[in-house]
Amino acid sequence: MMAARIKQIQAFMALTQMLVMPLFFLSGALYPFRSLPGWLTMLTRIDPITYAVYPMRHAVFSYLEVSPVARASLSPSLTWNGWPVPGGLSIGIVAVMGAGLLGMAIAEFQRTE
């Protein structure tokens, strides 16, 4: 979507990194959510990458032979006010957001200058 408006590849790459890196750090891929302040927890819940990280983490750690305590520590569940978000719903959220952004990108590329 952004590429349709930006003329220089260097500017596009800088903008992409400026947007993707904060989303990646908020996704929980690098650290657990347990000790985050409330306002930061809210930001992680609206981050689309969060909903891609947790199903992948669950898929990886479900094949390991570890104790349930270690599994809960390595692969904590994503919750909304205490309700664990199912993996299918997480994947659905990613798919809907991806389809919406793809639709906006198609609309931007169809515009002529």
Q: Which residue has the tokens 């993707």?
A: 20
What predicted TM-score, i.e. pTM, was given to this entire model? 0.77
Whether residue 44 lies inside any domain: the answer is: yes
The secondary structure of 47-66, three-state, reads CCCHHHHHHHHHHHHCCCCC
Whether residue 32 lies inside any domain: the answer is: yes
Tokens representing 108? 């931007």
Closest C-alpha among 17, 75, 35, 28 to residue 51: 28
Whether residue 50 lies inside any domain: the answer is: yes
Whether residue 3 lies inside any domain: the answer is: no
- Contact between 32 and 76 (Cβ < 8 Å): yes
Q: Which domain holds residue 32?
A: 9-110
Whether residue 77 lies inside any domain: the answer is: yes
Could you report the per-residue pLDDT of 3-48, keeping only the tens digit for each? 777 878 888 888 888 988 999 998 888 887 777 888 888 898 888 8
Whether residue 1 lies inside any domain: the answer is: no
Could you report the per-residue pLDDT of 55-94, keeping only the tens digit for each? 888 888 888 888 888 877 777 778 888 888 998 999 999 9
Q: How many domains does the chain have?
A: 1
